[in-house]
């Protein structure tokens, strides 16, 4: 059985002290997570890099996972400003986002680079949350599924996937990110089913059965249960609504 995952992408928000407060309040409000163990819904927070040591310290012993919003494709060396997978892994990170649409758009990240980053993350025991999704004009032209699957294919090139647990895929339609517009539950399910089918054809039944596929884009407490109802949607990648303890906690409850 695939365990649902709700991951909060904080993007470039919060100071270390604000993060410290968020973690303390979250654990107080959600004692099941504070106790460690294996709650029915996996929760993870993906803060900016300077907040990661704070997450490591505050979340130690709890069931809340954490990780980065990006990672270098390089192992080590003269790459000013980059962050190595080994550095995240050493701090106890579990996840790392690769190929977020903001990085693809503002830093021109190619499918090839995203695949290299995912490979590097897996090599270091991190689980990449690989993002794909179409722009509005692509959806309006009726090419959302074919575009997203082609982007996925490029972003997986050269990756070996066996169990399907090495990787999480997040479908984030670009037009739904930070806009207040959400894909309908039917559109999210249609895409998640198409992605699972692609994984099945490419990597086999076991990978398809295990791989988790998230939806992202203006998810909030009020639409979480609806979006999660599709059998192929295994959770969410949440931006704005993960910044407040209350809304993120409500979303976990809704999942």
Q: Which residues are catalytic?
A: 100, 172
Closest CA to 156 of 108, 122, 191: 122
For 76, phi and psi rounded to 5 degrees? -150, 170
Number of helices and strands in the chain (H, E): 12, 8
**Minimum distance of ligand 13P from residue 75's CB (angstroms):** 26
**Interface mask (CB under 6 A) for ligand 13P, residues 80-109, using x and -?**
--------------------x---------
**Minimum distance of ligand 13P from residue 239's CB (angstroms):** 2
> Collapsing DSSP states into helix, strand and coil, what is residue 102?
helix
Closest CA to 98 of 162, 7, 197, 163: 7
Q: By CB under 6 A, is residue 61 in contact with ligand 13P? A: no
Q: Given candidates 156, 219, 227, 252, which one binds ligand 13P under the rule CB under 6 A?
A: 219
> Collapsing DSSP states into helix, strand and coil, what is residue 69?
coil
Q: What is the DSSP letter of 2?
A: P
Q: By CB under 6 A, is residue 68 in contact with ligand 13P? A: no
Give the span between the Cα atoms of 94 and 127, in whole angstroms: 6
Q: By CB under 6 A, is residue 133 in contact with ligand 13P? A: no
| CB-nearest residue to ligand 13P | 239
Q: By CB under 6 A, is residue 44 in contact with ligand 13P? A: no
Q: Given candidates 98, 177, 208, 252, which one binds ligand 13P under the rule CB under 6 A?
A: 177
Q: Which residues bind ligand 13P (CB under 6 A)?
A: 9, 100, 172, 177-178, 216-219, 237-241
């Amino acid at each position: 059985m695939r365990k649902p995952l709700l991951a909060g992408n904080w993007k470039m928000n919060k100071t270390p002290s604000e993060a410290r407060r968020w973690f303390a309040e979250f654990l107080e409000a959600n004692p099941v997570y504070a106790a460690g163990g294996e709650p029915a819904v996996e929760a993870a927070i993906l803060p900016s890099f300077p907040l990661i040591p704070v997450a490591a310290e505050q979340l130690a012993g709890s069931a809340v996972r954490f990780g980065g919003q990006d990672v270098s494709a390089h192992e080590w060396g003269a790459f000013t400003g980059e962050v190595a997978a080994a550095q995240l892994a050493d701090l106890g990170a579990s996840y790392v986002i690769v190929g977020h649409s903001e990085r693809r758009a503002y830093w021109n990240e190619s499918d090839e680079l995203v695949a290299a980053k995912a490979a590097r993350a897996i090599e270091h025991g991190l689980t990449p949350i690989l993002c794909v999704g179409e722009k509005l004009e692509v959806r309006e032209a009726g090419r959302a599924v074919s575009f997203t699957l082609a982007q996925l294919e490029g972003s997986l090139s050269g990756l070996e996937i066996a169990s399907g647990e090495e990787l999480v895929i997040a479908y984030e339609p670009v037009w739904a990110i930070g806009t207040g517009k959400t894909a309908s539950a039917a559109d999210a399910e249609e895409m998640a089913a198409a992605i699972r089918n692609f994984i099945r054809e490419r990597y086999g039944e076991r990978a398809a059965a295990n791989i988790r596929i998230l939806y992202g884009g203006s998810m909030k407490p009020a639409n979480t249960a609806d979006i999660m109802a599709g059998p192929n949607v295994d959770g969410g990648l949440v931006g704005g609504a993960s910044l407040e303890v209350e809304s993120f906690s409500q979303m976990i409850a809704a999942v």
